[in-house]
Amino acid sequence: MLEPQQIRQGVEELGPWFYAHDFGNGLKTTPLIPPQVVGIHDTRLAMVKSEIQRFFGARARGISCLDIGCHEGFYSVAMARHGMQVTGMDAREENLRRARFVAAASGFDGVQYCQGRVETLAADQGRTFDLTLFLGVLYHVEDPMLCLRQVAAVTGELCLIETQVVDEVEGYTEWGAQEWKRPYKGILALVDESGEFHAGNRETGVTPMATCPSPKALLFMLRQAGFARAEILTPPPDAYEQHARGKRVVCAAYKV
Ligand SMILES: C[S@@+](CC[C@H](N)C(=O)[O-])C[C@H]1O[C@@H](n2cnc3c(N)ncnc32)[C@H](O)[C@@H]1O
């Protein structure tokens, strides 16, 4: 646990901050994201907590949780607050430095953080976690199937995925001859994040190229990756505008 003066100093020295972390007694960070977007975290947190409560119930206290692409540890600390044994991992040490401070300043020194890439998650962790969070990362990676297979491999029971989604495209492709056809199972859009990537943005993937799934593609890929079933959760009535319009989704993927 840090003293108020240490928290004040850390907030100052480690800024700018991506999230609005609140350490109590008026000690908090000012987020980089515009005020109209800050509410995105309220919606995600509400949806994540609600599904955890529905799925784990009283078991939620004490379960293990891996927060994949944890950034400043906003969701890691939120899960630790619920009594979970939390590990946060991220590709960027500069994010993890802030995450360690946030955990200490919030009184959750037990949260473990490690550097790593989703692409090698299963071998790096060498174990499963009851709950995995894969929030805001899928649409930043260039090989979503590889990543989802890795995420499935370390998920013991439930994985919560939050992602931007592209509009669905329904259709058929020829498959070897004009009369042979296969239906699309959703689509992946290729997205250029090179501008942000080369500018040193701390939220992008580890390469400049990103992919973004349509809702059907997300569900199809999750099944192919090793989840028994997956469903897109209904946002609350007061959801952030992108969730309300279905442009971002929170999806629950179950191992059994
Ligand atoms: C948009 S932020 C989302 C952070 C947080 N999970 C959230 O939902 O608010 C993406 C995070 O994932 C990390 N990241 C991106 N690609 C990664 C990869 N291939 N392996 C591990 N971490 C990655 C970034 O460093 C960043 O912290």
Instruction: Answer whether residue 11 is part of any domain.
Output: yes
Cβ(21) to ligand 1 under 6 A? no
CA-based Rg of the chain, rounded to a whole angstrom? 19
Instruction: Answer whether residue 205 is part of any domain.
Output: no
Instruction: Answer whether residue 88 is part of any domain.
Output: yes
Q: Is 195 exposed, middle or buried (0-12, 13-18, 19+ CB in 10 A)?
A: exposed
What mean pLDDT comes out for the span 222-251? 98
Instruction: Answer whether residue 188 is part of any domain.
Output: no
**CA atoms of 242 and 236, how far apart (whole Å):** 12
Instruction: Answer whether residue 189 is part of any domain.
Output: no
38 half-sphere exposure, CB direction, 13 A CA radius = 12
Q: Which domain holds residue 130?
A: 4-164+214-254
- Ligand 1: distance of its center to the CA of 136 in Å? 7
Q: Do you know the residue count of the chain?
A: 256
- Ligand 1: distance of its center to the CA of 94 in Å? 12
**CA atoms of 161 and 147, how far apart (whole Å):** 12
pLDDT on residue 191: 98
Q: What is the CATH number of the domain that holds 21?
A: 3.40.50.150
Q: Which of 29, 38, 137, 162 to mutate to test the pocket of ligand 1 (most atoms within 8 A of CB)?
A: 137
Residues contacting 44, CB < 8 A, separation 6+: 75, 135, 162, 240, 243, 250
Give the nearest ligand 1 atom to 162 CA.
8
Give the nearest ligand 1 atom to 135 CA.
8
Instruction: Answer whether residue 133 is part of any domain.
Output: yes
- Ligand 1: distance of its center to the CA of 203 in Å? 6
Residues contacting 207, CB < 8 A, separation 6+: 142, 197
- Ligand 1: distance of its center to the CA of 72 in Å? 10
Report phi then psi at 74, rounded to 5.
-60, -50
Residues contacting 19, CB < 8 A, separation 6+: 29, 31, 41, 71, 72, 74
**CA atoms of 99 and 85, how far apart (whole Å):** 15
**Band of the pLDDT at 18, cuts 50, 70, 90?**
very high
pLDDT on residue 112: 98
- Token output for 73: 């540890």
Residues contacting 41, CB < 8 A, separation 6+: 19, 20, 74
Report phi then psi at 73, rounded to 5.
80, 20
Provide the mean pLDDT of the chain. 97
Instruction: Answer whether residue 204 is part of any domain.
Output: no
Instruction: Answer whether residue 141 is part of any domain.
Output: yes
pLDDT on residue 1: 78
Cβ(213) to ligand 1 under 6 A? no
Q: Report if pTM > 0.85.
A: yes
The 10s digit of each residue's pLDDT in 130-175 is 999 999 999 999 999 999 999 999 999 999 999 999 999 999 999 9
Looking at the predicted structure, is the pLDDT value of residue 247 above 90? yes
Closest CA to 108 of 138, 149, 65: 65
The 10s digit of each residue's pLDDT in 85-108 is 999 999 999 999 999 999 999 999
**End-to-end distance of the chain based on CA atoms, in angstroms?**
39
Tally of domains within the chain? 1
The 10s digit of each residue's pLDDT in 158-167 is 999 999 999 9
Q: Is 138 exposed, middle or buried (0-12, 13-18, 19+ CB in 10 A)?
A: buried
